[in-house]
Structure 1
Amino acid sequence: MTAHPAGAAGFLHRFEGLRARLPGVRIPFVERLREQAAEAFRAQGFPTRRVEAWKYTDLRPVTDAGFDEALTAVDSAPDLPPAHGAARVVFVDGRVRPDLSVLDGIGYSVESLAAALPGLDGRIGTLARVEAQPMAALNTMLFEDGLVVTVPAGIAAGVLDLVSVGTASERPEAFHPRHLIRLEAGASLTIIETATGPEGARYLHNPVYEIEVGAGATLTHARLQQEGTRAFQLSTVYARVAEGGTYDNFTLNAGGKLVRNEIHAVLAGPKAACHMNGAQLLRDGQHADTTTVLDHAAPDCASRQTYKTVLMGRSRGVFQGKIHVHQVAQRTDGYQMNQALLLSPEAEIDSKPQLEIYADDVKCSHGATVGEIDADQLFYLRARGIPEARARAMLVEAFLREAIEGVQDEAARAALDAAVTGWWDREQEAAA
């Protein structure tokens, strides 16, 4: 099969060729949504570094590749990560696999987006901004499947595993899952999401999430990005939190060649809360970008952001975090911290914290630090008989664990802690 043209033109060409076969064909609101997204993507194309929000991330490795449609064999059974809960939904190359999923006895609704699409008018596309975010426009234009989760009011739904596996081998493939998550008033849910793929696989994983957290509801969203080392992941999360609700997000970037994790959260009701924390664990040749935009759009809301980055070899990390406090958002309490630990003189970190405040009665702060392993701490551990490699591991793990400890849900915290420890152990083994 001949690959499609590269860049924006290639994806537009793909849309024209696939539009008659994409889910939702002949459903008027879906066709309108896709056409609007295609027009937005045609006008914007892939962002370049001349766009301020993409100043530190060069997408040419993505635009230079000619991606094909994912053509996974329906009977393939890829290796899956360990389960964290009783319920699990598995996606292979962006499509749900019921035969690999487990949803017995749950007290809430979990559906394939492709199957549920006719009933999603007014729900899909309500938070995503295709006119401003080109990767969301690309997803809206080409999504084939995704997850639709609805937790009824007052239900404590427990843990749901969301697993995405990329399997591309000889030719680069792209998939664009669309996930819709809604928690009604007083509900709670923990999603532990793992994205993985073989080391040699070349693919683009471009998911978009539209998340609605109802009044007094709590969603814990732990994301473990462990894509193959030749893969690309460009994810966009939109979350809207109602009065008294909480959205607790932790993203661990530990895989992929080029990764961008973009989160747009709106605290829309009084006393809403948002925690956006994360860690980026980068080895030689990797680039990871975390970009957050947090809108305080109601009074008496609180937000916390702590992001940690560990960089090895010729890796590059990016953190861009903006807190926007609207005039109505009096008594806002916002905190943001970004810290980087450089383990190589060739590593690079770009940090850009921002505050934009229009209210009078606020408590907001932000900060950033960049440094190496503390020589005094290392000497202290070595002087007590701890080998240098283990001493360094202890200091790196302590640096990262501070961010993980902010995750309230025990299952999510344990999964993140195991992923961090496993990453460092593998790096030590590779260096030995």
Structure 2
Amino acid sequence: MAKVVSLDNLLASMEARRSEAAPWLSPLLGEAGEKFANLGLPNRRNEAWRYSDLAKALHETVKPEAEADTPPEFAGACVAAFENGVLIDGISSYCAMGAQSLRKILGEKDSSVASYIGKINPQHDHPIINLNTALMEEGLVLHVPKGVTLATPLHLRFNWSDIETQGADGRHLRILVVLEEGASATIFESHDGAPSFATIVAEFSLATNSKLTHVRLENFSAAARQTAATVAELGDKAIYRGFYLSQGGHFARHEALLKLAGEECFAEMDGAYLVADKRHCDNTTVVLHAAPNTASKQTFRGVLAGAGRGVYQGCVQVAQAAQKTDAKQLSRALLLSHRAEIVTKPELEIFADDVKCSHGATAGELDANALFFLRARGIPETEARAMLVEAFLGEALDMIEDADLRVPAAEMVRKWLARHAGEASHVE
């Protein structure tokens, strides 16, 4: 049975954590803890959390599933294996690419990461990032030197299998990736099982001409409660390509908060979410164009069955100095049930006058004309409907450039479709 997370216990844990921290770390923890205390756990009164009430979800009783999918293996990758929020060195190989345990770094009297943690595209009033900063206890740091291309991907494997070992206040993990000028790397995240409550914050710093490929799969069990944030800042001509795939959980939210700080940098985010069984999945993005001649593109696709609930909030902000911005945003949702719910909230905040910005959102059932076309060629209705759902998701998976990275994502989609074939074959 998942534990109830107490706000008072969180604040007490923050104070204890700060009092034991190294001199370079204590002020950061104290400031984050104070801000979190003023904000509290997010709920529907917070506009950014209007459709995802974390405070309520943490006080609801959830029953863990008896079985969960086996975490994916990614051949050839260096692995950082987190079991119930703890980095297990015995089954990890991250040291081979020069990555370091954050727990060890946080225990040092002085550290070079002090100039990065909490300072990459800082989100001063973000309740979850402040909570994570004040209580971060585990994680990983990867620093890629100038001009280096990592031929091997880094697999961040998060597996949650034992609620009793996860702690009454949850687990709070931090990932830090710094790419120097001209460097490039690939990060593959997989999230499996059922965290009773977890926050995961990934900070990415991309210097001039660097490139980061980031694929993130959430294959949670129904009882999972996790909120995560990807925070990135891009320098001149830097490129970030992210793909996010989730089947939700009791409460699952991922935020991508990007700042395009250098000229001619580019960010692309593509995602898909597959939600059924009263699960909740929230994808929230904020892309800040802070420099001239920057470009961004977002495309999210959702399939909702049963009483599943999906949320997509996408905000593009264009600063006054960011002339020649080119920003595109698109959300498409496919409803397989009359009980399913989708909330879509696209936003544009533009303070420059020479820009190209667009957004679009659609939600509906399967295309009747496409269904008729298939049935007219002798394909049974059940099979035809399933083919259309698979094709809809296939367009999203095609956005993963690396064929090897596409394999685990496609396998996750295949398993979901197999479980919900009945719902895919008709509208309830």
TM-score (norm 2): 0.90
Tell me the equivalent position of 2:49: 54
Q: Residues 341 and 80 (structure 1 numbering): CA distance in 2 closer, same or farther, change over 3 Å? A: closer
Tell me the equivalent position of 2:66: none
For residues 322-361 of structure 1, the aligned pairs below 5 Å read: 322-361=315-354
Of residues 393, 401, 407 in structure 1, which corresponds to 2:400?
407
Q: Which segments of 5 or more consecutive residues in structure 2 lack a partner in the other structure? A: 63-68
- Distance apart, 1:28 and its partner CA: 1.2
CA contact (8 A) 1:129 1:136 kept: no
- Distance apart, 1:312 and its partner CA: 0.5
Tell me the equivalent position of 1:13: 12
CA contact (8 A) 2:233 2:259 kept: yes
Q: Which segments of 5 or more consecutive residues in structure 1 lack a partner in the other structure? A: 68-77
For 1:142 and 1:65, locate their aligned partners in 2 and report how far apart those are by CA, in whole Å.
Answer: 23
CA contact (8 A) 2:246 2:272 kept: yes
**Letter aligned with residue 128 of structure 2:** M
Q: Does 1:35 align with 2:30?
A: yes
Which of 167-176 and 362-371 deviates more?
Answer: 167-176
Partner deviation per Cα, 1:174-225 (whole Å, 9 max, x = no partner):
111100011111111111110001xxx4511210111101111110110001
Tell me the equivalent position of 2:305: 312
Q: Does 1:236 align with 2:229?
A: yes
Tell me the equivalent position of 2:356: 363
Tell me the equivalent position of 2:65: none
For 1:430 and 1:304, locate their aligned partners in 2 and report how far apart those are by CA, in whole Å.
Answer: 31
For residues 69-108 of structure 1, the aligned pairs below 5 Å read: 80-103=71-94, 105-106=96-97
Q: Does 1:193 align with 2:186?
A: no
CA contact (8 A) 1:191 1:220 kept: yes
Q: Residues 125 and 345 (structure 1 numbering): CA distance in 2 closer, same or farther, change over 3 Å? A: same
Tell me the equivalent position of 1:374: 367
Q: Residues 376 and 431 (structure 1 numbering): CA distance in 2 closer, same or farther, change over 3 Å? A: closer
For 1:431 and 1:404, locate their aligned partners in 2 and report how far apart those are by CA, in whole Å.
Answer: 18
Tell me the equivalent position of 1:180: 176
Secondary structure, counterpart of 1:279 in structure 2 = strand
**Letter aligned with residue 116 of structure 1:** I
- Distance apart, 1:407 and its partner CA: 2.7
- Distance apart, 1:272 and its partner CA: 0.2
- Distance apart, 1:396 and its partner CA: 1.1
CA contact (8 A) 2:235 2:262 kept: yes
- Distance apart, 1:137 and its partner CA: 1.1
Tell me the equivalent position of 1:222: 215
Which of 253-262 and 338-347 deviates more?
Answer: 253-262
- Distance apart, 1:416 and its partner CA: 2.2
For 2:213 and 2:273, locate their aligned partners in 1 and report how far apart those are by CA, in whole Å.
Answer: 19
For 1:302 and 1:83, locate their aligned partners in 2 and report how far apart those are by CA, in whole Å.
Answer: 31
Which of 395-404 and 407-416 deviates more?
Answer: 407-416
CA contact (8 A) 2:187 2:214 kept: yes
- Distance apart, 1:323 and its partner CA: 0.5
Q: Residues 250 and 190 (structure 1 numbering): CA distance in 2 closer, same or farther, change over 3 Å? A: same
Partner deviation per Cα, 1:267-305 (whole Å, 9 max, x = no partner):
111110001111110012111111111011111111000
Q: Residues 6 and 419 (structure 1 numbering): CA distance in 2 closer, same or farther, change over 3 Å? A: closer
CA contact (8 A) 1:304 1:335 kept: yes
Q: CA RMSD in A?
A: 2.5
Q: Does 1:293 align with 2:289?
A: no
Tell me the equivalent position of 2:100: 111
CA contact (8 A) 2:254 2:284 kept: yes
Secondary structure, counterpart of 2:188 in structure 1 = strand
Q: Does 1:263 align with 2:256?
A: yes
**Letter aligned with residue 113 of structure 1:** L
CA contact (8 A) 2:219 2:412 kept: no
Tell me the equivalent position of 2:159: 165
**Letter aligned with residue 102 of structure 2:** L
Sequence identity (%): 40
For 1:411 and 1:83, locate their aligned partners in 2 and report how far apart those are by CA, in whole Å.
Answer: 8
Which of 50-59 and 305-314 deviates more?
Answer: 50-59
For 2:140 and 2:236, locate their aligned partners in 1 and report how far apart those are by CA, in whole Å.
Answer: 25
For 1:370 and 1:318, locate their aligned partners in 2 and report how far apart those are by CA, in whole Å.
Answer: 12
CA contact (8 A) 1:7 1:65 kept: no
**Letter aligned with residue 8 of structure 1:** L
Tell me the equivalent position of 1:72: none
Q: Residues 273 and 137 (structure 1 numbering): CA distance in 2 closer, same or farther, change over 3 Å? A: same
Secondary structure, counterpart of 1:177 in structure 2 = strand
Partner deviation per Cα, 1:342-363 (whole Å, 9 max, x = no partner):
0000111111111111112111
- Distance apart, 1:152 and its partner CA: 1.3
Secondary structure, counterpart of 1:360 in structure 2 = coil
For 1:110 and 1:380, locate their aligned partners in 2 and report how far apart those are by CA, in whole Å.
Answer: 53
CA contact (8 A) 2:207 2:238 kept: yes
Q: Residues 130 and 305 (structure 1 numbering): CA distance in 2 closer, same or farther, change over 3 Å? A: closer
For 2:377 and 2:9, locate their aligned partners in 1 and report how far apart those are by CA, in whole Å.
Answer: 59
Tell me the equivalent position of 2:271: 278
Which of 348-357 and 166-175 deviates more?
Answer: 166-175
**Letter aligned with residue 30 of structure 2:** E
Of residues 113, 125, 143 in structure 2, which corresponds to 1:132?
125
**Letter aligned with residue 13 of structure 1:** A
CA contact (8 A) 1:190 1:412 kept: no
**Letter aligned with residue 156 of structure 2:** L
- Distance apart, 1:26 and its partner CA: 4.2
- Distance apart, 1:168 and its partner CA: 2.5
